[in-house]
Chain A
Amino acid sequence: MITVSNVSKTYKNKNTKKLVVDNISFDIKQGEIVGYIGKNGAGKSTTIKMLCGILYPDKGCISIDGISPQKNRLKSNLNIGVIFGQRTQLWWDLPLKDSFRILKAIYKVSDIEFNERLEYFDEIFQIKSLLSATVRTLSLGERMKADIVASLIHNPKVLFMDEPTIGLDVYSKVKMREAIQKINQKYNTTIMITTHDFRDVEELCERVIILDKGKIIYDNNIHKFTKKYSDEKKVIISIENQIQMMHLINSLQNKINDIDINFDDKNSFIIITYKKEKKKLMRILNLINENGDLPDFTVVDKPLENMIEDLYRMEHK
C-alpha cells in the first residue's frame, strides 16, 4: 500500500544544510498498523509530509496505492486521511457539522455513506452530540475525536496519525486507542502512527519503525524488539514486616548473584532488578518463599521507552 524507496530530504537555508531524512526505505501492507517512532527532530513529521505530497523529497520515490503523491497530489490525497495532533483541520469559528459538510463535498461522499459513517462514529465517539457545537468550544479530547472523524469521513485507504494522543488524559488515550483499533478492523485501513507515547505503540502496532537522525535503525515486529531489548526485569515485592524485609534482602544478596536490590522501608517494598536468565525468577521467588509466606509481588518488563534508549546507545557506540 505504501512504498518508500531510498528517500532523502535536506532542508536548505542560506547558510545551513540539514539532512532530515537519510535514505530511508520501507513497505507497508494494506491493513497494517505501523508505529513510526523516534526522538524530536528524527524526521518523522517530514516523512509524513512527504507521504502526503506536501514536501518533495530530494531523492528517491514514494508511492501510495500505486500513485506518487508528488506527481499527482490531488489524486493521491483522495486515498489519504491525515491527523496532525497539534493542529486541527476543522473550521475554528463554525459548528462542527459545517466542517464535516465541507469535507463531504471535497471528497464527494454520498449522503448514504456520510450518514452511515456518522452513525458508526457516533457509536465509538458519541460524535453526534458535538455536531452543533462551535469547534472553538470543544475540549482537546473532543476536538481530537472530531479531527479523527474528519480525516476518516471519506474512508481513506491510508491514515497518517501524527501524534494523535498528544495532550490527552489517560482515559481519553485508552478510548482513542480502542477507536483506532476498531476502525482498522472495520475498514481495513492502513495506519501509520507517529507518537512519543510508547503505550500507543505497544497496544496498537504489530510493527515498529524506529528512526534516529533521519535513518531507520529498526524496522520489524514489536515483539521481536521487546524480546531482544528487554533483557532486564524487575520484581516488586511488598512486605509489611521490617525485620522480615531486612532478612530477605540479606539472603537475596548472599545467595543470588547479579541482582540489584533497592528498598524503601517506609513504604515497605523491595525492587529487585535482574538480568533475564533461565530459572532466575524461580530462584528469586523460591528464596522469598523460604523466608515466610510468599508476599504480594509484581514482575515488570523494562518499559519500551528504555529499550529504545538502549537501542540508540547501541547505534552510537
Chain B
Amino acid sequence: MPIADKVRIYIPFTIATFKQQFLAYRSRLIIWMIANFITVLFQVYLWISIYSNYEGTSINGYTLVNMINYIIVSKVIESLTFINIEPIISRDVNEGRIATSLIKPISYKTELLFRSLGNILGSLLLFIPIYAAMFIIFNWHSLSEIKLNLGIVLLSLTFIIISFVVNYLIALIFSSVIFKTIRHRGIYEIKKTIILLMSGALFPIEFYPSFLSKILKYTPFIYLRYIPVSFIINYSLSMKEIIEYVLFGAFWMAFLFFIASIVWNKMFKRIIVYGG
C-alpha cells in the first residue's frame, strides 16, 4: 500500500522530534506547560466570577460548567492539533539548512507534517493528564451523566482530524510567505491572532454579535475549535447540523488543500538557498 509505505518513510521524523523535545528542550516544554496551565486557570476563574455576578444560570445557552468544559476541551484540541512549522521553516531557510532537506528524496511539507506530529505527541504526554484532572474536578457532580458510545468517539475523532488538517493547511498557506520574508514572527502572530479571534478558541462564537457569528459559520476557522469543542461537550448540535459540518469540513479541507498547493509550490520554486 503506497500510503503505508509513505508513512514508514516519515514516521522516524515524528519519533525524532518527540525525542528531541524531551532530550533537548525539556525545560522549555515544562515552562510552556506551566504558562498554559495558568492561562486556563485564569480563564476559568474569570468565568466563575462573571457567572457569580449574573442573575440567571446560563448565558447565551451556556451554563458555568458548560463554559468551563468549553475552555478545557478547547485547550485539549489545541494540543491535539498543534502545528508550529513557521519557526522551523524560517530557521531552515535562514541558515540554509533547507538544502539538506531538499537533497533527500522526500517532500519538505510532508516532513514538516510528521515533525509536527512529534510535537503533538510530546505535548499530549504533558498536557492531557492536567486537563483530564481539571475536567474531572469541575464535572465531579455530573460525571455519571456523561454518555460515551462508539459513534460519539468516532465523530469526535473525525472533527479533531478535520481541525488538524485545516490547521496544517492554513499554516502552509501562511508559511509560504516565509520563503520571501525569511523572518516568521510577523506572519506567525497575524495567523495566531486571526485563529484566536475567529475560531472560537477563547469562548463560543455565540458570544459574538449575531451578524459576526453568522459570518464566521461560513469560514474554515470555526472548524479549528468551535465545532469540535461544541460537539465534544455535547452541546447544541443536531444530527442535521453534524452532517452539515462534516460535509462543510470536507469541503474546506479540499479547498484549502487546493489553495495551499498552489501558493506553496509557487513560493517553494522561487527559493534561493543562501550561502555559497
Contact = CB atoms under 8 A, between A and B. Distances in A.
Interface of A: 11, 44-46, 48-49, 52-56, 73-78, 80, 82, 84, 86-89, 91, 93-94, 98-99, 101-108, 134, 162
Interface in B87-102: 95-97, 99-100, 102
B272 A77 contact: no
Contacts, number: 84
A91 B25 CA distance: 14
A84 B99 contact: yes
B10 to A, nearest CB: 8
Contact of A101 (B12, B24, B106, B272): B12
B9 A106 contact: yes
A49 B105 contact: no
Contacts of B23: 93-94, 134
B16 interface: yes
B12 A46 contact: no
A94 B13 contact: no
* Residue of B23, B103, B105, B269 ringed by the most chain A CB atoms within 10 A: B103
B107 interface: yes
A296 to B, nearest CB: 45
B104 interface: yes
* Residue of A44, A56, A84, A101 ringed by the most chain B CB atoms within 10 A: A84
B210 to A, nearest CB: 48
A91 B8 CA distance: 19
Nearest to B276: A45
B27 interface: no
B19 A74 contact: no
B181 interface: no
Given A80-B103, A102-B12, A105-B10, 17 more contacts: A11-B272, A45-B275, A45-B276, A49-B99, A52-B102, A56-B269, A77-B105, A82-B100, A84-B99, A87-B97, A94-B20, A98-B12, A98-B15, A101-B12, A103-B104, A106-B9, A106-B12
A52 B101 CA distance: 11
A82 B19 contact: no
B273 interface: yes
Contact of A74 (B8, B20, B106, B276): B106
B19 A98 contact: yes
Contacts of B24: 93-94
Contact of A106 (B104, B269, B273, B275): B104
B11 interface: yes
A51 B96 CA distance: 17
A106 B276 contact: no
Given A74-B105, A75-B105, A106-B105, A54 B99 contact: yes
Nearest to A54: B102
* Residue of B9, B11, B19, B276 ringed by the most chain A CB atoms within 10 A: B276
A103 B111 CA distance: 12
Contacts of A108: 9
A300 B275 CA distance: 37
A172 B9 CA distance: 34
Contact of B9 (A45, A89, A94, A105): A105
Contact of B103 (A52, A86, A98, A102): A52
B159 to A, nearest CB: 31
A86 B12 CA distance: 25
B8 A49 contact: no
Nearest to B95: A87
Nearest to A43: B276
The 8 A-B residue pairs with the shortest CB-CB distance, nearest first, are A45-B276, A93-B24, A89-B100, A77-B105, A102-B12, A82-B103, A74-B105, A105-B12
Interface string B45-64: 00000000000000000000
Contact of A53 (B13, B25, B102, B276): B102
* Residue of A54, A73, A78, A88 ringed by the most chain B CB atoms within 10 A: A54
Contacts of A106: 9, 12, 104-106
Contacts of B13: 102
A84 B100 contact: yes
B16 A91 contact: yes
Given A55-B273, A98-B16, A105 B99 contact: no
Contacts of A54: 99, 102-103, 273
B16 to A, nearest CB: 5
Interface in B228-276: 269, 272-273, 275-276
Contacts of B102: 52-54, 73
Contacts of A45: 275-276
Nearest to B96: A87
Contact of B105 (A46, A93, A107): A107
A91 B20 contact: yes
* Residue of B12, B23, B99, B104 ringed by the most chain A CB atoms within 10 A: B104
Contacts of B273: 49, 54-55
A84 B99 CA distance: 9
A104 B96 CA distance: 23
A149 B13 CA distance: 19
Nearest to A163: B276
